[in-house]
Each structure stands twice: as C-alpha cells, then as structure tokens.
Amino acid sequence: MENSSTVELAKARLNDWLRQGAIAPGDKLPSERELGELLNIKRMTLRQALLFLESESRIFRKDRRGWFAALPRFNYNPNSSTSFKQAAIEQGRCPSWDYMTKECVLAAPGFIKELLQVDAASEIYKISGWGALDNHIVFYHETFISPRVAPGFIERLGENSFAEVWEQAYGTSTRTRHLAFKPTRLSGEACKVMGGNASTPAILVEKHRADAERRIVQVDIEHWRFESVDFFINL
C-alpha cells in the first residue's frame, strides 16, 4: 500500500508542472488514467494528491470534464460600489454574466422574507444568474427583492446591474449593511451552473443591501468557486 510520502511526491510533481507552465492556467490536466501512468502511481494515490491541490486552490474540477489548472485569483471587495465588471476589467480579466431567471415567486427562505419585511403569504422577486472570468463561471447568485418596495423591478432590470436600476428607476442608492462568509460545498442549481459536484469546495456569501433609511431592500446569496477569488474589505 502506498503511503503518505508517495502522495506528497505525486503532489510535488504535479505542482512543479503547474509552476513551470507545463500546464497553463485554465488548461485541462491529462485524464486521471494518463496522470497515473505518467507518475507511475495508483489511482487512489493520485486522487489524494489532486484533492490536496484542489484544497490549495491550485486546480479545480468540472463535473464529467476533468481537472483544470486554476486561473489567477480575482481580488474582490463585496462591500465596494465598484461593479464586478469594472473590478474584473481593472485586473486585466474578461468578465461576462447573465441573468437566468427573473420571476415573482411565493416560495423563498423564511429569513429572507423576514429581512425584507414580506409576510409568508406574499410573493417576492427572485433573480438568479452567474458571473464568469475569462469564460469560466466563478459564481452563481440568487437575489431577492420586495415588490412592495420596488414594484416592477424585474421588468426594468434587463441587462442592467442592480445598482443601476435602484438609482435610475427608484432614485435609491443602496449600501451593504451585512456581509457573511461561509465555507460550503456546491449543491443544487449552483452546482449545475458552475459544473461542479457535491464535493466541490465553495464560499457562500450572504449580502444585505439597504436604502438611505437603513431598510433592507435586497438580499443576495452568492456561491463562489473556492479557488477563484480572494475577498477583502477596506476599513
């Protein structure tokens, strides 16, 4: 049976390939069978080495497509007024995004309706979408807004940012009032959208946006790929 030193050697070899550019950022690694043959190790040992590198943000996995070398990490301040698009461009990245659904729903987590002061029997706006860097989807979000506070929001959204609609259609400038970060695993719609599986590490971000009266008007639930982002907040 191969021991931990064999796993460390396999990890070191893979790390050397990544560091030396033999596998460029964003490129697909050889299949696990090919890697096992190249390193002359058993598949279980290889899998342990790959999981170690995943936990260190050196590689990431796409379900049914294999392993890929991690792209440069995105430095992102979720408390900033700078948009995802602008922040990405400033860092020399190519951003893209899309809204998948814009709907008025009855079902929503109870704590979200409570935050937005919507009673359990009332409908609420739910918008879902994704953001990508260099054609690689790095986050999935679900956003909740009260129709009572912002009637017609989903009709006005189009391809605009939330901040643009708040300011242009409702004369409201929103500010972040609460941020929470939690390590998690991809599941449900986030898993499907980002090509992960139930074991893919991720960061869950819960963000509450408030108006000038400090009333919470928007709740964002975001799932980010673990290897894709470094969060920071300037105090």
What are the tens digits of pLDDT across the range 10-37?
A: 889 998 888 888 888 989 999 999 999 9
pLDDT in tens, 123-167: 999 999 999 999 999 999 999 999 999 999 999 999 888 988 999
| pLDDT band at 3; cut points 50, 70, 90 | low
Average pLDDT estimate for 63-80: 89
User: Are 235 and 206 in contact, with CB atoms under 8 Å apart?
Assistant: no
In this structure, are strands 66-69 and 229-231 parallel, antiparallel, or unpaired? Answer: unpaired
pLDDT value of position 80: 81
User: Measured between alpha carbons, how far is 137 from 94 in angstroms, rounded to an integer?
Assistant: 11
Do 47 and 32 meet the contact criterion of CB atoms below 8 Å apart? yes
The pLDDT assigned to 1 comes to 43
DSSP string covering 26-64: TPBPPPHHHHHHHHT--HHHHHHHHHHHHHTTSEEEETT
Token pair belonging to 16: 């050397």
Element (H, E) at 221: strand 216-225
Q: Rounded to an integer, what distance in angstroms lies between the CA atom of residue 227 and that of residue 233?
A: 18
Q: Give 167-199 pLDDT, tens digit per residue.
A: 999 999 899 999 999 999 988 899 999 988 888
In the DSSP assignment, the letter for residue 181 is E
